[in-house]
Chain A
Amino acid sequence: MEATRKLIRRQSLEKLYNALSETRKIYAPVMAEDKQITYCYNPSFAEVTFDHIRSTMSPKNVLFPKVENLFYYTNEKTESVISVLDLNKIPEVVLWGAHPCDAAAIDVLRSIFCWEIKDEFFAKRLEKLVVIGLSCHQSDEYCFCTSTGLAPDSKNGSDILLSRLQGGDYQAEILTEKGQSIVDSLPDLFEPVTGEQVVITEVKQKFDHRKVTEKLATSFEHPFWVSNSLRCIGCGACAYLCPTCACFDIQDETAGRKGRRYRSWDSCGFGLFTLHTSGHNPRSVQSQRWRQRIMHKFSYMPERNESLGCVGCGRCSSGCPVDMNIAEQLAALQNI
C-alpha cells in the first residue's frame, strides 16, 4: 500500500498506547534503575522512553525468544508421546518504539526463519506482531545504520513509523495494512500533517557494505582475521545483543518420564558451536569464529538470503568487553 502521513499529538500517543494495550501485549523500551534501556512487556506509558539511543538487548526476543519451548513429551515404555503446542495461543503483540535498525532487523530475521522451510513459531509470532517504529533524533559513535543501506528514519519493518516533530508532537507514517487498520480504529487520534519538520539525527557512513561484500569474496585466508581478532575473548555478547543473529541450540530436558524440547540462543563465537562428535573442530580458534561472524553477515547472507545480516545498531561494539568495533574493522577491511 502507499504510505500516508499523519500528525499525532504528544498527548494522543498515550491514548494510542493505552488503546493498543487493551487488546494486545505491548513490548516497549523502559529505562531501568541502573540507566540501562530494557524492553519489557506491558509497562505503563509513563515508564516508556522516547529518548533512548539503543536498548542494551535488541527487541528480537519478541519474535525469537531466548528460550522457546518446541514440544513436550512423555516416555511410555517403548514409545514417546508428543504433545505439540497450540501456536494460536501466541498473543497479539505491539513492538513499540523500535528504532529503524531494530525494525529493519525483523526483515533480516524473516529472511532466515522463512527462507525455505517456514519456521512456524517465528512465522506465527510475526503474523501477530505490529511494529510501531520510532525514528532516531539522536545517535552516538557506535551507530552505523547508514553503512548498511539503512537510515535513522528507514521504514523497513515498521507498520507505523513515528518521527518527532520540532514542536514535540509526532509524525506518523502509516506503512502497511496492519498500520492502517490501527489508524482506522482510532481515527480521532490522527490529524492531517501541518508541514512541520521532523527531527532526524545524522549518522555518518563508516564503510560501503557493497565494497565489504565484494572484498570478502577473496579474503578468506587474509591475515587480517588473526591480527584483528587476537583480543576477542570468545564470549557470546555480540551475538546475543545482535538484533539479527538467529542461531539457536536445541536441547531436551527430561525429568522422570516427562520432558520438553526447547531451543535457546547460541553463538558462533563459542568453540562448542562447531565441535564435532569426533572431537574435530572445523573452527578451532577464535579468528576463524570471528571471520565466520563477519562472513555470515556480509558475504553469505547477501548471497543466499539477498539481505545483509547487519542493520548497524552498534550493540555488538558498544556491548563488547574488549572493544571489537565492527564498523572500524569493516572500514579497514574494505581497503585491504
Chain B
Amino acid sequence: MNNLISKAKELLEGKAVHVVIGYEAGPTGVARPAFITDPSGADMLIYDDRCVQNLAVYLTKPEVKSLGRMAIVANLPVMRSIMMLISEQQLFAESIVVLGISDKGDLLDIADIQVMQAYIEKSDLSNPARDREPLTALNKLSPGERFSYWQKELSRCIKCYACRQACPMCYCTRCTVEVNQPQWIPVQSNTLGNMEWHILRAMHLAGRCISCGECGRSCPVGIPCHLLTMHLVDQVHDYFNIYAGTSDKMSSVLSTFEPNDKESFII
C-alpha cells in the first residue's frame, strides 16, 4: 500500500498524470472510488479486501476524462476491462497509466500493454470461485426450473439500471432501453419487461464480460444478475475457447464472421 501511495504521489508530482483513480475508505468504512488530483491527497488511497468495485467504469466517463491524463489502480478485473476498452476503441493505451495490483495486493510494475497482457495470461481467467457454486447449481436445474428461478429473481428488478451503470463494458451513451422510437424494451418494471432487459444485457456482454461481478454487487435489491453474464463467460469459453480481456486486440466473439466458420447459415 505504501508503494501504491508513493507511486501515486510520484506520478502526480511529476505531472505524469492529472488524476489517480483509486479507492478510499468512506465514513462508514466502506471502500469507494477516489479521484486524487493533488499529491497530498494520495495518502487517502487504500487497497484491501474491501476494494471490490471495478474502477474501469470511470475511464469512459466524460467528467473524469476531462480531469486530464489518468492513472488507475487496477486489479485483474480492471486490467481485463482496460484490454476490452482498448480493443473496442474506447480508450487509447497511451492515455493511461496502470497501477496494477496483484492478487496478493502488491503493486505491479505495468510498464506497457505487453507487460499487462503477460500478467493477465498467466492469471486464472475463469469465473471467481465464489460464483462457481451458484452457477453449477443453476446449470443442474431443468430449463423450466431455471426459468422459474429467473422469473422470480427478475420480478424484483426495479429498473434502476445500476447493473448497467456499474459495468465498464456498458459505455454506450444511449442504451437500447433508452431508444423510444420504437420502444424496444418496456420502460416499466414488470416481470416480462425485466426479463427482456436482463437477457438483452447479458447477450450484449457475451464474449465481453470479464467476470468482475460488479452488476450483481451493485444491484440494490440483491438480484444475482452477474450469474447471467458469468454463465455466458463459461459458454463462450466452451464454444470458442476465449476469455474476454486478454489482449488489446480482441475481436468480438458474437459479431465476427469468417468464411471458415463451421456454421453455414450466415455466410
Question: Could you list which residues of chain A lie within 8 angstroms of chain B, going by C-beta atoms?
Answer: 34, 36, 56-57, 66-67, 141-142, 226-227, 229-231, 233-237, 239-241, 249, 251, 253, 262, 264-265, 267, 270-272, 285-287, 319-323, 325, 328
- Given the known interface contacts A226-B63, A321-B218, A325-B26, the answer about A237 and B58 at a Cβ–Cβ threshold of 8 Å is no
Chain B positions 141-188 with a Cβ under 8 Å from a chain A Cβ: 158-162, 164-166, 173-174, 178, 183, 186-188
Q: Are B222 and A237 in contact (CB under 8 A)?
A: no
B1 within 8 A of A: no
Instruction: Give 1 or 0 for each of B1-43: 1 = CB within 8 Å of chain A CB.
Output: 0000000000000000000000000111010111100000000
B247 within 8 A of A: no
Q: Are A67 and B220 in contact (CB under 8 A)?
A: no
What chain B residues lie within 8 Å of A272 (beta carbons)? 174, 178
Minimum C-beta distance from A64 to chain B (A): 13
Q: Are A321 and B62 in contact (CB under 8 A)?
A: no
What chain B residues lie within 8 Å of A271 (beta carbons)? 173, 178
Q: Are B158 and A240 in contact (CB under 8 A)?
A: yes
Q: Are B160 and A267 in contact (CB under 8 A)?
A: yes
Question: Could you list which residues of chain B lie within 8 angstroms of chain A, going by C-beta atoms?
Answer: 26-28, 30, 32-35, 53, 57-58, 61-64, 158-162, 164-166, 173-174, 178, 183, 186-190, 217-218, 220-222
What chain B residues lie within 8 Å of A34 (beta carbons)? 222
Q: Are A142 and B33 in contact (CB under 8 A)?
A: no
What chain A residues lie within 8 Å of B160 (beta carbons)? 235-237, 239-240, 267
Q: Are A56 and B221 in contact (CB under 8 A)?
A: yes
Alpha-carbon separation in the docked complex, A150 to B75 (Å)? 43
Q: Are B189 and A233 in contact (CB under 8 A)?
A: no
Alpha-carbon separation in the docked complex, A249 to B186 (Å)? 12
Minimum C-beta distance from B197 to chain A (A): 13
Residue of A nearest to B164 (CB): A235
**11 interchain pairs, CB-CB under 8 A:** A56-B222, A66-B158, A142-B28, A230-B61, A240-B220, A251-B186, A262-B188, A264-B187, A264-B189, A267-B160, A323-B26
Q: Are A235 and B183 in contact (CB under 8 A)?
A: no
User: CB within 8 A of A235: which of B173, B190, B218?
Assistant: B218
Q: Are A286 and B61 in contact (CB under 8 A)?
A: yes
User: CB within 8 A of A321: which of B183, B186, B189, B220?
Assistant: B220
Q: Are B221 and A66 in contact (CB under 8 A)?
A: no
Alpha-carbon separation in the docked complex, A325 to B24 (Å)? 13
What chain B residues lie within 8 Å of A322 (beta carbons)? 32-33, 53
User: CB within 8 A of A36: which of B30, B32, B221?
Assistant: B221
Alpha-carbon separation in the docked complex, A319 to B222 (Å)? 10
Q: Are A56 and B62 in contact (CB under 8 A)?
A: no
Alpha-carbon separation in the docked complex, A56 to B160 (Å)? 14
3 shortest A-B CB distances, which residue pairs? A321-B218, A235-B162, A323-B32
Q: Are B220 and A319 in contact (CB under 8 A)?
A: yes
Q: Are A56 and B220 in contact (CB under 8 A)?
A: yes
- Given the known interface contacts A66-B189, A226-B63, the answer about A235 and B158 at a Cβ–Cβ threshold of 8 Å is no
Alpha-carbon separation in the docked complex, A271 to B159 (Å)? 14
Q: Are A233 and B28 in contact (CB under 8 A)?
A: no
Minimum C-beta distance from A41 to chain B (A): 14
Q: Are B161 and A264 in contact (CB under 8 A)?
A: no
What chain A residues lie within 8 Å of B53 (beta carbons)? 321-322
Q: Are A251 and B220 in contact (CB under 8 A)?
A: no
Alpha-carbon separation in the docked complex, A328 to B24 (Å)? 14
User: CB within 8 A of A264: which of B35, B62, B188?
Assistant: B188
Q: Are B217 and A323 in contact (CB under 8 A)?
A: no
- Given the known interface contacts A57-B221, A236-B160, A251-B183, the answer about A323 and B30 at a Cβ–Cβ threshold of 8 Å is yes
What chain B residues lie within 8 Å of A56 (beta carbons)? 220-222
- Between B165, B178, B189, B220, the greatest number of chain A beta carbons within 10 A of the residue's beta carbon is seen for B220
Q: Are B165 and A233 in contact (CB under 8 A)?
A: yes
What chain A residues lie within 8 Å of B174 (beta carbons)? 272
- Give me 7 other A-B pairs in contact (C-beta within 8 A), A66-B158, A141-B27, A321-B217 excluded: A36-B222, A57-B221, A67-B189, A237-B220, A249-B187, A264-B187, A265-B158
Minimum C-beta distance from B219 to chain A (A): 8
Alpha-carbon separation in the docked complex, A15 to B220 (Å)? 35
What chain A residues lie within 8 Å of B173 (beta carbons)? 271
User: CB within 8 A of B35: which of A231, A265, A270?
Assistant: A231
Minimum C-beta distance from B51 to chain A (A): 12
Q: Are B64 and A233 in contact (CB under 8 A)?
A: no
Alpha-carbon separation in the docked complex, A229 to B61 (Å)? 12
Minimum C-beta distance from A74 to chain B (A): 20
Alpha-carbon separation in the docked complex, A74 to B183 (Å)? 19
Q: Are B218 and A270 in contact (CB under 8 A)?
A: no
What chain A residues lie within 8 Å of B217 (beta carbons)? 321
Alpha-carbon separation in the docked complex, A262 to B26 (Å)? 40
Q: Are A141 and B28 in contact (CB under 8 A)?
A: yes
Q: Are B220 and A241 in contact (CB under 8 A)?
A: yes
- Given the known interface contacts A57-B158, A287-B63, A323-B26, the answer about A230 and B58 at a Cβ–Cβ threshold of 8 Å is yes
- Given the known interface contacts A251-B183, A264-B187, A321-B220, the answer about A230 and B35 at a Cβ–Cβ threshold of 8 Å is yes
